[in-house]
């Protein structure tokens, strides 16, 4: 009886082993069939394949210059701009320009009344000639020891003073005529003929617009 039971258990084990092998083969065939069916389905549906595709843009690589630009807001400035002012007091005698006129460097712009300046210069020149003659006589007398050193020094001082006065009067007469310091355009006129002006009176503005300057603020990271 015991031997029959052992034989039956052995038969059951062998049967179970054959069953497991058969189930494994069936499952393997089912998996292959499933994969084959899915592949055929994907191949039969081109829309699905297109949805999975990634679009790209292909450009031929080549060497070319690269330009880097920067847009900024700036201010236009004149190349030169100056207020034309009088260096002496006087009466405006003549105005030689019109507003908006283009003038050249050295052109006469305004002339003051030169009468008092010419008279002062003539007086200074007369005193200078007299002091010069006195100084020359003093030199001769001093060499012969006929005058004191004090008299000689006084004559020399008077001579130098009168010479400086002549130079100052010549400058005053020259300042009665105002010339353009550079070429440009005359702006607004602030004086009229016959007007008595003081020293440092603003008479007009001279502007040089050729070329013009541009003033901009550039961030430090763009300075290079």
Alpha-carbon gap, residue 97 to 139, rounded angstroms: 52
Is the same domain home to 34 and 81? no
What pLDDT does residue 50 have? 58
What pLDDT does residue 197 have? 93
Is the same domain home to 182 and 108? yes
* Mean pLDDT of all residues belonging to the chain: 82
Is the same domain home to 157 and 200? no
What pLDDT does residue 17 have? 55
Q: Domain containing 135 — which CATH number?
A: 1.10.287.470
- Find, among 122, 144, 124, the residue nearest to 132 by Cα: 124
Residue 12 scores a pLDDT above 60: no
0.75 exceeded by pTM: no
Residue-number span of the structural domain to which 145 is assigned = 114-175
Alpha-carbon gap, residue 169 to 127, rounded angstroms: 12
Tokens of 96: 């030689």
Is the same domain home to 121 and 163? yes
* CA dist 116 → 10, 94, 99, 215, 218 (Å): 152, 16, 29, 46, 55
Is the same domain home to 129 and 100? no
For 72, the 3-state DSSP assignment is coil
Q: What is the pLDDT of residues 136-167, one digit of tens each?
A: 999 888 888 888 899 999 999 999 999 999 99
Cβ atoms within 10 Å of 4's Cβ, excluding its own: 8
Helices (DSSP H) in the chain: which residue ranges?
2-44, 46-52, 115-143, 149-175
What pLDDT does residue 144 have? 85
| CB burial string 56-86: b at 16+ within 10 A, e below | eeeeeeeeeeeeeeeeeeeeeebeeeeebeb
| Within-domain flag for 217 | yes
Is the same domain home to 168 and 186? no
> Do the beta carbons of residue 117 and residue 169 sit within 8 Å?
yes
What pLDDT does residue 68 have? 81
Alpha-carbon gap, residue 126 to 129, rounded angstroms: 5
Identify the weakest region by mean pLDDT among 55-64, 72-81, 167-176, 193-202: 55-64
Task: Collect all residues with Cβ–Cβ distance below 8 Å to 5 and sequence separation of at least 6.
Answer: none
What pLDDT does residue 19 have? 55
Is the same domain home to 108 and 120? no
Q: Domain containing 183 — which CATH number?
A: 2.40.50.100
Residue 41 scores a pLDDT above 70: no
| Within-domain flag for 51 | no
Alpha-carbon gap, residue 186 to 107, rounded angstroms: 11
What's the total number of domains in the chain? 3
Q: What is the pLDDT of residues 67-123, one digit of tens each?
A: 888 888 999 999 999 999 999 999 999 999 999 999 999 999 999 999 999 999 999
| Within-domain flag for 107 | yes
What pLDDT does residue 163 have? 94
| Within-domain flag for 66 | no
């Amino acid at each position: 009886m015991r031997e029959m039971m052992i034989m039956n258990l052995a038969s059951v084990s062998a049967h179970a082993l054959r069953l497991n092998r058969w189930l494994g083969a069936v499952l393997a065939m089912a998996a292959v069939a499933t994969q084959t069916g899915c592949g055929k389905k994907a191949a039969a549906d081109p829309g699905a394949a297109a949805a999975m595709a990634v679009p790209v843009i292909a450009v031929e690589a080549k060497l070319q210059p690269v330009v880097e630009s920067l847009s900024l807001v700036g201010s236009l400035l004149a190349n030169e701009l100056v207020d034309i002012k009088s260096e002496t007091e006087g009466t405006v005698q003549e105005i030689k320009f019109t507003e908006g006129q283009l003038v050249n460097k050295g052109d006469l712009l305004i002339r003051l009344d030169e009468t008092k300046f010419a008279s002062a210069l003539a007086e200074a020149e007369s005193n200078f000639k007299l002091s010069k003659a006195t100084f020359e006589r003093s030199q001769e007398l001093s060499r012969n020891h006929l005058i004191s050193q004090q008299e000689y020094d006084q004559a020399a001082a008077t001579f130098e003073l009168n010479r400086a006065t002549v130079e100052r009067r010549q400058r005053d007469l020259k300042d009665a005529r105002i010339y353009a310091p550079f070429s440009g355009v005359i702006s607004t006129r602030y004086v009229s003929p016959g007007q008595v002006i003081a020293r440092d009176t603003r008479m007009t503005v001279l502007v040089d617009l050729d070329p013009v300057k541009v003033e901009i603020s550039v961030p430090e990271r763009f300075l290079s």
